[in-house]
Amino acid sequence: MNKRKRMKLGLWAVLTTLATLLIIIVGSSAFMLSFSLSPDPDRADTDSCYRQLFSAYPETRPWVDSLRRIDALRDTFLTMPSGERHHAYYVSTGSHRTAIVVHGWRGSAIKFFYLARMYEQLFGYNVVIPDLHAHGLSQGTAIGMGWPDRFDMLRWMEAFRTDTMVVHGVSMGAATTMMLSAERMPDGVRDIRFVEDCGYTNVWDEFATQMNDMFGLPPFPVMYTSSLLCKWRHGWSFGEASAIEQVSRCPHPMLFIHGDADTFVPTAMVYRLYQAKPSQKELWVVKGAAHALAYSVDPTEYARRVARFIGLSPKP
């Protein structure tokens, strides 16, 4: 075999290898994006959501039943800035104070009624519990991880604005809450406070953590190509979807809650978030609480801490 032919074969082998690697990387990126952002196929199964709620938080069943008897648990639909139709549940106490409770990744409004009950029954707040984009009964084909959702949250705030408001999110809902916190709040809201429970610093950090934990893979190259693919498909990248950047510009009070046994959103993230917040901040790290289980570990202390943060005392 002459030298020229060997060089051609060598070049062909290199190009074939590069093409194979490219196919693997692109395929892995598409899989990662689909795995992370695909909605729950059973997201509209409200009966299943109620079963899960009542199993985890049995005290919510009589509360829901009592609201239903007097037709106080209202379905509400709004058109978002994107043109999509989104859904929320609304409970009115006639108060000038309103809480918006924000669920987590692949969750639903119903599954977070335990926090809605706390605000309505113990604090006397009106409560809005939205289904985020691509969750529950809201339209959408891909989960936004909180970043585009922050504008939807502003729409809910505008629709149900009162003098005093609290936005309280858990996990991805907490990231949504923090991402919202630096935006201009609706006119007419005098006192706005934010409670974030086990939210991540940014989407890049959270996805990199999960890639390592689930697949033992480093960020390069799949995270980079997945982020570019997300930008192309959905209009946002992993790096720009940053709760910590928004928190650093937030002028409003914020309570940070995190379990010290959280490995899904590592506890270390809350210390970075807390440090990034310039002022008007409180931190509660819950001993023995895994991801999104701070309330379950100590619901009485949870209610007491939140009540103190918003300037109230919970009812007995």
Q: Which tokens go with 186?
A: 């609706």
Question: Is the confidence at residue 18, as pLDDT, over 50?
Answer: no
Residue 217's φ and ψ, nearest 5 degrees, are -105, 145
Instruction: Tell me the mean pLDDT in the region 5-14.
Output: 57
**Per-residue pLDDT for 139 more than 60?**
yes
Q: Which of the two residues, 101 and 81, has the higher pLDDT score?
A: 101
Given this model, what pLDDT does residue 142 score?
A: 97
If phi > 0 it is left, if psi is from -120 to 50 it is alpha, else beta; for residue 171 that is: left
pLDDT of residue 278: 97
What do you get for the CA distance between the two ends of the chain, in Å? 90
User: Which are the contacts of 272, defined by CB distance < 8 A and separation ≥ 6?
Assistant: 201, 244
Q: Quick one: tokens of 72?
A: 């106080």
- pLDDT per residue as tens digits for the range 61-74: 999 999 999 999 99
pLDDT of 133 higher than 70: yes
Nearest to 196 by CA among 255, 149, 152: 255
CB 309 within 8 A of CB 302: no
What pLDDT, on the 0 to 100 scale, is given for residue 9? 56
| Reported pTM | 0.92
DSSP 248: T
Query: What pLDDT, in 10s, does the model give residues 182-206?
Result: 999 999 999 999 999 999 999 999 9
Residue type, 185: M
Inform me whether the pLDDT recorded for 208 exceeds 60. Answer: yes
Q: Is 218 exposed, middle or buried (0-12, 13-18, 19+ CB in 10 A)?
A: exposed
* Residue 215, pLDDT score: 79
Token representation of residue 189: 């809201």
Chain mean pLDDT for the chain? 92
Structure tokens at 92: 């009115």
